[in-house]
Structure 1
Amino acid sequence: MTDSGDSGPRVTMLMRLEALAARGALALLRRLGPVRASDVGGAISRAIGPRLPVSRVADANLRLALPGLDRAERRAVIRDVWDNLGRTVGELPHLSRLPRDPAHGPGWDVTGAEHLAAQVARGGAAIFVSGHIGNWEMLPPAVAHHGLPFASFYRAAANPLIDRMIRTLRDEAMEHSVPLFAKGARGARGALAHVARGGRLGMLVDQKMNDGIEARLFGQPAMTAPALAAMALRYRCPVIPGYVERLGPARLRIHVEPPLPLPDTGDRQADVLALTQAVNDRLESWIRTHPGSWLWLHRRWPKTLFETRA
C-alpha cells in the first residue's frame, strides 16, 4: 500500500511502520524527561555503536588525525562519540523545554553572548558556522533565543513521515519559522539569494565534499565546501563560529566566538581558501579540546591517505 503525489516520495507501508516505531520512541523519551532520556540514549548507543563496522572508520580517522593516541585511548574516544550521539538523539524531544542558565541540572547557557548582541545591533546578513560537535541541534534554538534565528541547509530523512517529525521537533525548539535549503545546487542558489537579501544562514562544514577545495584539517588535506567562504566574501558578511559543549546529561554550553577576519587581498581564489582554512582551524581547535564530542564516524579524509599508512 502506498501514497503517491507530486509533493514528495511515495509513502509505503514499511515507512508507516517505521514512523509508528519512531513515534513510540519519541513518546517514551518524552516521558523519561531530559536527563533520563539522555542517559538511555547514551547507554544504548555506546553499547551497540562501538561494535558496528563504521567504528573502524572512526578508528582509522583517529590514527590519522591524532597519531599520539594509543589503541585504548582511541577506543575510549569512539565510545564517547557513540555516547554523545545517543544522548543527542535522546535529548531532541526536550530541546524546546530545556531551561536557560540553570543553577544545576539540565539546561543550557551561552559564553560569548556579546558577539550575538553585536550582530543584533549590526543587523544584516550573517553566517553562523559550526560542526557536528556536542549536541549540535541546540545551536539554532540558542542563537534564535538571542534574536538571531537563521536558515540552514538540510538533508531530508529518507522516510518523509519521520522527516516531518524531525522538522517539527526542530521548529518547536527554534520557536521561529526559518527557511531550510536542500543540499545541492538548487539549495545553494536559494541560500545565496537568502544571504543577498540580508538573511542569516547556519552551516555545519565539517564533512567531506568531494568537489570542494583542498584545505587542511589536522595537518592533512581535506576536501572542504567553499560555499561559506564564497558567500561571506561576496557580501562581506560576518562569519560567526560557535559550537556546543556537553557538560552532562541534557546540560549544554554554547560557545560563541568573535567573527572571523575576512581576507581581502584582491585574489578571490586565495581569499576563499584562506577563509575556508580559518574555519577548519577553528573546527580542529574545538575537536582537539573535546575529541569524544565530534562525529569521527564520517570518512573525512581521502582514502589514499589511509592506503599510504597501511
Structure 2
Amino acid sequence: MPAPKPKATAKDRLEYAIFVTLVSLLRVLPFRQRSALMAWIMSRVIAPLAGYTKRVHQNLDLIWPDMPRAEHNALVTSVTRHTGRTICELFSPKDLTRMAKETPLTGPGLAALQEAQTAGKPAIVISGHFGNYDIVRAALINEGFHVGGLYRRMNNPLIHKFYLNNISTIGTPLFERGRPGLGAMLRHLKDGGTLAALIDVRVNNGVPLPFLGQPALTATSMAELALRYGAILVPVYGIRSADAEHFTTYLDTAIPVTDPETMTRALNTSLEARVRENPEQWFWIHNRWKGGTGA
C-alpha cells in the first residue's frame, strides 16, 4: 500500500496562505516586472528572514574562503536574486514554456539524445539547481522528446500540491523520488523514454564524492539506472543570460559507461564547470556538504 500522504499542520496552512497570497499578487504584474520584483523580495526580505543569506555566506566561506569580501557579499546578493527569479519562473509555467520555445537546444549531447530517441533507447538527462533546470525539460518536450521528470516531495503538503500542479503544466509524466514513483519511472525508461533528474540533492545514504573541492553526499542511483537499462547519461543546463530574462541551453557530452561512482563523479565535474563559470546561478542555499565533510 502507498504511504499515507502527510496531513497539513496549522503552520503548513499559514505558510501556504502567505505563499499563495504572494504568488497571486505577483501574477497581477507582467512577467518581466514580476520576475524582477520576486528577485528583490527574495534577496531583501525572504532570504535574510529565513536564514538563506547566512547559509550562502557559510557555503561560500567553505568553498572559496580566500574570495575578497566585497566580491563575496556581491555574490550572495546575486545568488538570492537569481533564486527569486527561478522561483517566479517555476510558478509561472506558461511563461516558462514560452521562454523554452524561444531557447534552442545546443551542445554535443543533443545528437546523442536524438540518436537514442531514433533507436527507441532510454536516456537520462541530469542537471543541478543551476540556472533554470526546467527550461531544458520544457525545451526537450517542445522538440518532441518524451521526458519524464523526477521530483522530491516538499515538506509542506499544501505548497507541494501547488508546486506539482505548476510543474505538471510544463509537462508530464512526473515521478516522485523514492518508492511512490519508482514503478512508473522504471516503466518509462523501459519504454525508451527520457528521464530528467538533478544530481546536487544531498542524500543521507549517498556516497561522499567531491564537489567544488569538498566531499558531498551524492546519490549514484541515476548512473546505476543508466547501466541497468542501457540508457545514455547526459548532463544538461539551462543557463540564464546576462539580461536575466533569457536563457541558453547546453547539453554536455554523454558520460562514458564505466561504473556508478565514476559516472557520478563525472556528473559532479560537469556541474562544477558550470558553477565556476556562473557561480551566481547555483543554489548555494542548499546545505550541500552536510554529512560529507566536517563543515
Determine the structure 2 residue equivalent to 1:110. 105
Aligned CA RMSD, in angstroms, stands at: 2.8
Q: Distance in 2 between matches of 1:301 and 1:16?
A: 31
Determine the structure 1 residue equivalent to 2:245. 250
Determine the structure 1 residue equivalent to 2:30. 33
Identify unmatched segments of 5+ residues in structure 2. Answer: none
Q: Distance in 1 between matches of 2:198 and 2:84?
A: 19
After superposition, the Cα gap between the structure-2 partners of 1:146 and 1:68, relative to the gap in structure 1 and judged at 3 Å, is farther
Deviation of 1:302 after TM superposition, in Å, equals 4.3
Q: Distance in 2 between matches of 1:60 and 1:15?
A: 28
Question: Could you tell me which of 269, 275, 286 is aligned with 1:281?
Answer: 269
Residue identity matched to 1:33: P
After superposition, the Cα gap between the structure-2 partners of 1:196 and 1:115, relative to the gap in structure 1 and judged at 3 Å, is closer
TM-score, normalising length: structure 1:
0.81
Residue identity matched to 2:263: L
Q: Does 1:94 align with 2:92?
A: yes
After superposition, the Cα gap between the structure-2 partners of 1:26 and 1:219, relative to the gap in structure 1 and judged at 3 Å, is closer
Q: Answer yes or no: is the 8 Å Cα contact 2:91–2:163 preserved in 1.
A: no
Deviation of 1:120 after TM superposition, in Å, equals 3.0
Q: Distance in 2 between matches of 1:253 and 1:62?
A: 26
Q: Distance in 1 between matches of 2:234 and 2:116?
A: 9
- Aligned pairs for 1:124-135 within 5 A: 124-135=121-132
Deviation of 1:237 after TM superposition, in Å, equals 1.0
Per-residue CA distance 1:173-198 (angstroms, 9 max, x = gap): 22xx30322x3345446534542343
After superposition, the Cα gap between the structure-2 partners of 1:184 and 1:116, relative to the gap in structure 1 and judged at 3 Å, is closer
Per-residue CA distance 1:61-107 (angstroms, 9 max, x = gap): 222322441222222221111001111122234332353589xxxx5
Deviation of 1:132 after TM superposition, in Å, equals 0.2
- Aligned pairs for 1:149-228 within 5 A: 149-174=146-171, 177-181=172-176, 183-188=177-182, 190-228=184-222
Stretch of structure 1 that moved more, 73-82 or 244-253: 244-253
After superposition, the Cα gap between the structure-2 partners of 1:101 and 1:27, relative to the gap in structure 1 and judged at 3 Å, is closer
Question: Could you tell me which of 80, 84, 89 is aligned with 1:82?
Answer: 80
Q: Secondary structure at the match of 2:173?
A: coil
Q: Answer yes or no: is the 8 Å Cα contact 1:243–1:254 preserved in 2.
A: yes
Question: Could you tell me which of 278, 285, 291 is aligned with 1:290?
Answer: 278
After superposition, the Cα gap between the structure-2 partners of 1:187 and 1:230, relative to the gap in structure 1 and judged at 3 Å, is same
Deviation of 1:283 after TM superposition, in Å, equals 0.9
Residue identity matched to 2:273: S
Question: Could you tell me which of 53, 62, 66 is aligned with 1:64?
Answer: 62
TM-score, normalising length: structure 2:
0.85
Question: Could you tell me which of 129, 136, 139 is aligned with 1:139?
Answer: 136
Q: Answer yes or no: is the 8 Å Cα contact 2:151–2:197 preserved in 1.
A: no
Q: Distance in 1 between matches of 2:10 and 2:50?
A: 28
After superposition, the Cα gap between the structure-2 partners of 1:111 and 1:162, relative to the gap in structure 1 and judged at 3 Å, is same
Q: Answer yes or no: is the 8 Å Cα contact 1:50–1:78 preserved in 2.
A: no
Stretch of structure 1 that moved more, 139-148 or 9-18: 9-18
Larger Rg: 1
Q: Distance in 1 between matches of 2:238 and 2:113?
A: 15
Q: Distance in 1 between matches of 2:14 and 2:59?
A: 36
Residue identity matched to 2:207: I
Q: Distance in 2 between matches of 1:304 and 1:160?
A: 29
Residue identity matched to 2:234: I
Deviation of 1:128 after TM superposition, in Å, equals 0.7
Residue identity matched to 1:140: R
Deviation of 1:131 after TM superposition, in Å, equals 0.2
Equivalenced residue count is 288
